[in-house]
Amino acid sequence: MVDYHAANQSYQYGPSSGSNGAGGGGSMGDYMAQEDDWDRDLLLDPAWEKQQRKTFTAWCNSHLRKAGTQIENIDEDFRDGLKLMLLLEVISGERLPKPERGKMRVHKINNVNKALDFIASKGVKLVSIGAEEIVDGNAKMTLGMIWTIILRFAIQDISVEETSAKEGLLLWCQRKTAPYKNVNVQNFHISWKDGLAFNALIHRHRPELIEYDKLRKDDPVTNLNNAFEVAEKYLDIPKMLDAEDIVNTARPDEKAIMTYVSSFYHAFSGAQKAETAANRICKVLAVNQENEHLMEDYERLASDLLEWIRRTIPWLEDRVPQKTIQEMQQKLEDFRDYRRVHKPPKVQEKCQLEINFNTLQTKLRLSNRPAFMPSEGKMVSDINNGWQHLEQAEKGYEEWLLNEIRRLERLDHLAEKFRQKASIHEAWTDGKEAMLKQRDYETATLSDIKALIRKHEAFESDLAAHQDRVEQIAAIAQELNELDYYDSHNVNTRCQKICDQWDALGSLTHSRREALEKTEKQLETIDQLHLEYAKRAAPFNNWMESAMEDLQDMFIVHTIEEIEGLISAHDQFKSTLPDADREREAILAIHKEAQRIAESNHIKLSGSNPYTTVTPQIINSKWEKVQQLVPKRDHALLEEQSKQQSNEHLRRQFASQANIVGPWIQTKMEEIGRISIEMNGTLEDQLSHLKQYERSIVDYKPNLDLLEQQHQLIQEALIFDNKHTNYTMEHIRVGWEQLLTTIARTINEVENQILTRDAKGISQEQMQEFRASFNHFDKDHGGALGPEEFKACLISLGYDVENDRQKQTGSMDSDDFRALLISTGYSLGDAEFNRIMSVVDPNHSGLVTFQAFIDFMSRETTDTDTADQVIASFKVLAGDKNFITAEELRRELPPDQAEYCIARMAPYQGPDAVPGALDYKSFSTALYGESDL
């Protein structure tokens, strides 16, 4: 007999810690060392002993009745070892040595020892339990022995989520009872006193047997008896416990509860298998549901974006000009609102759409699903084409707006100039026809006739001087017609009237001259001084009129150089004023001289100078007008010069900011390219670094906003060129959008690498080695490898290309990674390498991206679910049938996933079909094929 006090605990079960038991359930030594089983002094709570006797007896009888027998007294009926050996044969399914049939003590001891030896052969180390104690009817030792048998054959092999034995059984109970109110299983004693946990276990697996909602926590006896009776009647689990004993015991016996609960576990083991199958199916369905949601989001976002582009392009292609510059400026303001308000969110949507598409394709690839093919016309390339068309229309629209504003500005200027010159000419021609039609020469004296001739000559000179103005008026009208001025009809009417009047004046002038010349032979004398006055006064008068016209002439300029040219010309004109003033004095002196001679010779002059209407008063009045117009012209030119200086300041201000922002964007684009190639640290570190980098870029946005404000000031000032910078606002906007898109794509690439790493089980060190090897052969830092570079990269990772076999080169630091490469089973002869290239470069672009490289290196070793696995799981839920029913799906799966399957499964058409049968095989295959789920 083994000395009871030789061990450090009451007894040990299983091999020593660190090895596996015979049943494959793992080490139980540590667990048993922690169990407070029987007291070393063989003391046992009487209530516990009573519970154990009843429970262990019922448990033994549940197996012995299969052999047609049972026990009544557990410490008496096992004393001869016969029923003990029979019990072990029933629960193990093995034959024990033939028992001895004698009635002597030695025969009994030998039989019990055979039973104990068999227990020991199953990896159980018995301490302090010997055959003599069992033969002598030692209740304590007998109960201990039976508990050891229960542990080994009923509890040890229970395994739930990598926990076994007691912990596994407890976890199983917790998971099954988690949804039930008032149930909180934390142990195998007081957690079961109110009986709700027993009822919850039954209801979870057989809800039709228990009306759980009618149970009350304050009526534990009723609850316990209900569970025990239902288990015995419907589940073939014998009643092993007594409700009153459990309720009246402060702490029910743990081993009795565990024994009874283990019977529930084994009774529902088939349901456990179904649950495992259901879990696998739920996992697969969850992946498909998430992917479908992402597909629907992509389709919706793509449709919205394409619809917005479709609506916007016709608006940008509408080039119907407006009649006034105010209407065109309103169009320009609407275009600015589109640029500032409407377009930026769409740029973000376009970027997010590409990121969602890439993420979806990565998830599909990682879950062994076919690639997502968007609806016709909704590919990323279709959206990019539409976006390119939008930006082309946008650029053309802006150019058209600015050109149209320039045209209307030019038209307004010409129209005002036409009206001004026409008004001056019409004022001059007023009364001229009536004058030319006079027949005063018929009754005039000779001197009068001579005066009339001289006066007519002066008029002809005046008429000739006005010829240029008429030609200018006609030229302006012609230009307005060519530029499609909206009021061309009135301009043409007025111009035609001026030209017709001018022709009439020419005809009348010619007729009057002929009449005067006809009578000139009869006229001899003329006042030479008046004639000289008239000859000099007329051109001087014309000069003053031209000067006044020029001083009042409108001007339009766009650069500082143009206004400075006008100022220079005006300064030259002012320099001629002293000479003009001397000419004026000379002309007035002639008039004074004529008066002096007449007075000195007592000649009575008959009124004004007969040769001209230009009196000294007129000359002085017009000269005074010229003197007044000069400072006004000075002010207008200086005002325009100030405006152009302000425009120049705006140009320089914009150029200064643009020359900073433009290179900054270019530098950031180059830095992103370098970061995407030279990434260090873990992928999470890289992702964090990139997001910080993205935030620094977003923080730079106020600089672009400032530039937009400056650009708006330039447009409002109608500034159309800027020689101080090569950057336009359009260049800056495009660069900024590309910068945001590039950093977002780079972040998305790292996120996809994290998805790939986690899904494929790639370690951080392996990922770094992948990146290091890839970067080494990416000589141009373009982010992709050519075929020869890719082949060299594979060789560096352990492939022998020339000999069409694999070898370990030691190029990688991780032995596990080399084993991973070898396990992929690829050889790299020409044919095999071409096949690999078709995998990593399906579009035959001649380039292998880093993402494709990672997918290839990890694809063969990934443990992914398959269609066969899903079919096998459904078959378990269907009870090995070739079809499954909606009722079975709703019973075994969560509600949303059950309805998901029911809605998509086709009716089963096999010969064994029944009403409502569903085809789970074709459904499982469709999950991994090209389906429209």
Residue ranges per structural domain of the chain: 279-412, 446-614, 663-800+831-858, 867-927
**Average pLDDT of the segment spanning 879-888:** 88
- What whole-number distance in Å separates Cα of residue 204 and Cα of residue 235? 13
**pLDDT reported for residue 859:** 62
Where are the strands (E) in 546-627, listed by range?
none
The beta-carbon contacts of 873-879 under 8 Å, at least 24 apart in sequence, are 873/276, 873/277, 873/278, 873/280, 873/281, 874/277, 874/281, 874/920, 874/921, 874/923, 874/924, 875/277, 875/920, 876/273, 876/274, 876/276, 876/277, 877/274, 877/277, 877/278, 877/281, 878/920
**901 compared with 403, residue with greater pLDDT:** 901
**pLDDT reported for residue 829:** 63
The CATH code that applies to domain 663-800+831-858 is 1.20.58.60
**pLDDT reported for residue 221:** 92
**Average pLDDT of the segment spanning 765-783:** 74
Q: Which two tokens stand for residue 52?
A: 């154990």
Tens of pLDDT, residue by residue over 507-564, are: 888 888 887 776 565 434 335 777 788 888 889 899 988 888 888 888 787 788 888 8
**Fold topology of 279-412:** Methane Monooxygenase Hydroxylase; Chain G, domain 1 (1.20.58)
- What whole-number distance in Å separates Cα of residue 231 and Cα of residue 202? 8
**pLDDT reported for residue 57:** 92
Top mean pLDDT of 113-127, 598-612, 902-916 is at 902-916
**pLDDT reported for residue 530:** 74
Task: Compute the half-sphere exposure of residue 589: CA atoms within 13 Å on the CB side of its CA.
Answer: 6
Give the pLDDT band of residue 318 (cuts 50, 70, 90). Answer: confident
Tens of pLDDT, residue by residue over 6-22, are: 223 333 333 333 333 33
Q: What is the pTM of this model?
A: 0.50
For the domain with range 867-927, which CATH number is right: 1.10.760.10, 1.10.1740.110, 3.90.380.10, 1.10.238.10? 1.10.238.10
Question: Which of 21-30, 196-205, 515-524 is predicted with the least confidence, judged by mean pLDDT?
Answer: 21-30
Q: Which two tokens stand for residue 258?
A: 């565990």
Give the pLDDT band of residue 612 (cuts 50, 70, 90). Answer: confident
Asked if residues 283 and 865 have their Cβ atoms less than 8 Å apart, the reply is yes
**pLDDT reported for residue 862:** 52
Tens of pLDDT, residue by residue over 733-756, are: 899 999 899 889 888 888 888 887
Please report where in the chains the tokens 């996933």 appear, as a residue. Answer: 897
Top mean pLDDT of 145-154, 514-523, 783-792 is at 145-154
- What whole-number distance in Å separates Cα of residue 181 and Cα of residue 523? 138
Mean pLDDT (the chain) is 80
**Which of 264, 255, 226 is closest to 47 using CA atoms?**
255
Where are the strands (E) in 503-555, listed by range?
none
**Which of 657, 503, 654, 631 is closest to 570 using CA atoms?**
631
**pLDDT reported for residue 822:** 40
Give the pLDDT band of residue 344 (cuts 50, 70, 90). Answer: very high
CA distances from 175 to 161, 265, 301 (A): 11, 12, 41
**pLDDT reported for residue 808:** 35
In this predicted structure, the answer to whether residue 23 has a pLDDT above a threshold of 50 is no
| Phi, psi dihedrals of residue 799, rounded to the nearest 5° | -100, 140
Question: Which of 355-364, 571-580, 609-618, 846-855 is predicted with the least confidence, judged by mean pLDDT?
Answer: 846-855
In this predicted structure, the answer to whether residue 399 has a pLDDT above a threshold of 90 is no
Instruction: Provide the sign of the torsion angle of the four alpha carbons 203, 204, 207, 209, taken in this order.
Output: negative
Asked if residues 414 and 472 have their Cβ atoms less than 8 Å apart, the reply is no
**pLDDT reported for residue 270:** 65
**Average pLDDT of the segment spanning 33-47:** 46
**Average pLDDT of the segment spanning 684-710:** 88
Give the pLDDT band of residue 241 (cuts 50, 70, 90). Answer: confident
Give the pLDDT band of residue 433 (cuts 50, 70, 90). Answer: confident
**pLDDT reported for residue 271:** 65
**pLDDT reported for residue 314:** 93
The residues with which 120 forms a beta bridge, in sequence order, are none
Give the pLDDT band of residue 601 (cuts 50, 70, 90). Answer: low
> What does the DSSP 8-state code read for residue 805?
E
Give the pLDDT band of residue 437 (cuts 50, 70, 90). Answer: confident
- What whole-number distance in Å separates Cα of residue 379 and Cα of residue 236? 61
Give the pLDDT band of residue 187 (cuts 50, 70, 90). Answer: very high
279-412 and 663-800+831-858 share one fold: yes
Instruction: Provide the sign of the torsion angle of the four alpha carbons 524, 527, 528, 533, taken in this order.
Output: negative
The CATH code that applies to domain 446-614 is 1.20.58.60
- What whole-number distance in Å separates Cα of residue 316 and Cα of residue 312? 6
- What whole-number distance in Å separates Cα of residue 664 and Cα of residue 670? 10
pLDDT above 90: percentage of residues in the chain:
15
**pLDDT reported for residue 597:** 67
Top mean pLDDT of 454-463, 474-483, 898-907 is at 898-907
**pLDDT reported for residue 606:** 62
Give the pLDDT band of residue 225 (cuts 50, 70, 90). Answer: very high
**pLDDT reported for residue 675:** 75
**pLDDT reported for residue 224:** 93
- What whole-number distance in Å separates Cα of residue 774 and Cα of residue 789? 9
In this predicted structure, the answer to whether residue 35 has a pLDDT above a threshold of 50 is no
**pLDDT reported for residue 598:** 59
**pLDDT reported for residue 286:** 84
Give the pLDDT band of residue 222 (cuts 50, 70, 90). Answer: very high
**Average pLDDT of the segment spanning 149-170:** 79
**821 compared with 457, residue with greater pLDDT:** 457
Asked if residues 429 and 459 have their Cβ atoms less than 8 Å apart, the reply is no
| Phi, psi dihedrals of residue 164, rounded to the nearest 5° | -135, 170
Question: Which of 368-377, 569-578, 854-863 is predicted with the least confidence, judged by mean pLDDT?
Answer: 854-863
